[in-house]
Structure 1
Amino acid sequence: MRFCELQEKEVINICDGKCLGCVRDLDIDECDGIIKALIVPGPGKYFGLFCRDVEFFIPWCKIVKIGPDIILVEIDEKEAKHKVT
């Protein structure tokens, strides 16, 4: 699977059924070349569109299933949020 194919899939949290968004980036271990996490932009501050100040780091081990259209994950949303620097 190519990265551009991952970017087209929506990430759904199976804990609450909430759509977290689409994959924007990957966190890769430089030494091993292993994908450590998916990075998904958080919700926008104004009308859900502008000024995203958080993003979700979803560890690879929290991915339940990658389907043709969606990626199912099982995470605690509070723990996955990280400030954008």
Structure 2
Amino acid sequence: MDKSSDIRQKEVVNVLDGKRLGPIVDMEFDLEAGRITAIIVPGNNKFNVFGKSKEYIIPWEKIKKIGQDVILVEFNEGIERQ
């Protein structure tokens, strides 16, 4: 199993369209279960009024494969947060 710091350095790629989503910028955890519930990647790199870019939340179940250099996800860009 990789450490969270190792996972954060991998490029996230969407298998639905081959688009590179970027590196992981944050993760969500279920502390009671002791597991990662979602990864968070940069959005479209456009800044909103407050100077923050959008981020996409990708549930752990959408991760298809974690390789040496990339993380493959099946992601419809419908879940985002600001």
TM bracket (short chain): 0.7 to 0.9
- Larger relative helix fraction: 1
In the alignment, structure 2 segments of 5+ residues that lack a partner are none
- Give the fraction of aligned pairs with identical amino acids, expressed as a percent: 44
Higher strand share: 2
Counterpart Cα distance in 1 of 2:11 and 2:79: 16
TM-score scaled to structure 2, two decimals? 0.85
Residue of structure 2 in register with 1:44 after alignment: 45
Q: CA RMSD in A?
A: 1.4
Paired position in structure 1 for 2:79: 80
1:29 paired residue number: 30
What is the TM-score of this pair, normalised by structure 1?
0.82
The 1-side partners of 2:76 and 2:60 are apart by 14
Unmatched runs of 5 consecutive residues or more in structure 1? none
Question: Number of paired residues?
Answer: 78
Structure 1 residue ranges, 4+ long, deviating more than 2 angstroms after superposition: none
